[in-house]
């Protein structure tokens, strides 16, 4: 199967394909890293359910069908990831018919090793119904293929596994006129995933490229990004604007070091733990 990218931005390749079709273009063990966030399957991206920017897209599948799709997607990720690679999957607890549905079902039959579960904590939420505590976090599951060969840039260990990142910090980049991407990835979140587990020149895949955040990070930090986005046409200008952006908040590692909670060279302190 040969499909030409609809855009190449400073080496970052974007394909306007469904991710399952996109995986068919990739050989076994073709990429060094995968990070992404699939659709929530809640009937639309907005909490008010009033407006959806994806033409013809409702984000509404039968629950069993949705779970089978996500598990199929995970199997494809396993096939195309190199043995030293990492796969970061962002998902959240969904409220369906008034009942919380945590995403732990993704662990059933999962071929990856779960290296760590990370909490992405944000300061506010659009889900302000007064029948439960306001939801202020999502999960980031860090999966690896090989427990001995996986790549990890050890200076990132000091960041910890609770990531305090606003989900609205850089949303100005994901809006053009009246067209606002409804669910953009924060740049700091993508930075933490990509920079902690890759090196310059590595190939990074985002199967649900969304507003283009992962490829923005890849372009700025000299990784080779590949993105699949079935609805690219709807957000073409936003995606290309974001990928080209040089605007970055301090990374979680920069923030940790600035607070001087560890010496300027964190590995001096961590050596005894890392040997």
pLDDT attached to residue 195: 98
Residue 84 covered by a domain: yes
Q: What is the DSSP letter of 6?
A: S
Per the domain annotation, does 128 fall within a domain? yes
Report the pLDDT value the prediction gives residue 56, as an integer from 0 to 100.
43
Cβ atoms within 10 A of the Cβ of 9, count? 20
CB burial of 202-235 (b: ≥16 within 10 Å; e: otherwise) equals bbbbbbbbbbbbbbbbbbbbebbbbbbbbbbebb
Rounded Cα distance, 92 and 13, in Å:
28
Whole-number pLDDT of residue 201? 98
pTM exceeds 0.85: yes
Number of folded domains that form the chain: 1
Range of the domain at 215: 7-274
The whole-number pLDDT of residue 20 equals 95
pLDDT value, residue 271? 52
CATH number (domain holding residue 217): 3.40.50.150
Examine residue 30 and state whether it is found in any structural domain, yes or no.
yes
Q: Which residues of the chain have pLDDT under 50?
A: 45-56, 261-267, 269, 272-275
- What pLDDT sits at residue 44? 54
């Amino acid at each position: 199967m040969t499909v030409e990218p609809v855009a190449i931005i400073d080496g970052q390749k974007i394909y306007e394909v469904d991710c399952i079709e996109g995986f068919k273009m990739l050989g076994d063990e073709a990429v060094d890293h995968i990070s992404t966030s699939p659709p929530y399957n809640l009937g639309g991206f907005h909490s008010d359910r009033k407006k959806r920017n994806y033409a013809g897209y409702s984000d509404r599948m039968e629950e069993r069908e949705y779970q089978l799709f996500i598990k199929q997607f995970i199997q494809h990720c396993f096939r195309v990831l190199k043995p030293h690679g990492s796969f970061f999957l962002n998902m959240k607890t969904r409220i369906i018919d008034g009942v919380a549905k945590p995403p732990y079902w993704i662990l059933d039959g999962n071929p990856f090793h779960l290296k760590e579960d990370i909490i992405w904590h944000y300061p506010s939420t659009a889900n302000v119904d007064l029948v439960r505590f306001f939801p202020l976090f999502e999960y980031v599951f860090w999966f690896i293929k090989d427990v001995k060969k996986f790549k990890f840039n050890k200076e990132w260990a000091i960041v910890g596994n609770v990531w305090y990142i606003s989900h609205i910090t850089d949303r100005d980049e994901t809006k053009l006129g009246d067209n606002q991407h409804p669910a953009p990835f924060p740049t700091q979140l993508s930075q933490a995933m990509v920079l902690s587990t890759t090196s310059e020149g590595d190939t990074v895949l985002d199967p649900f490229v969304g507003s283009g955040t992962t490829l923005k990070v890849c372009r700025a930090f000299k990784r080779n990004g590949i993105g699949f986005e079935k609805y690219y046409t709807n957000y073409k200008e936003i995606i290309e604007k974001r990928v080209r952006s040089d605007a970055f908040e301090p990374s979680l590692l920069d923030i940790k070091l600035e607070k001087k909670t560890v010496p300027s060279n964190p590995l001096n302190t961590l050596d005894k733990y890392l040997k």
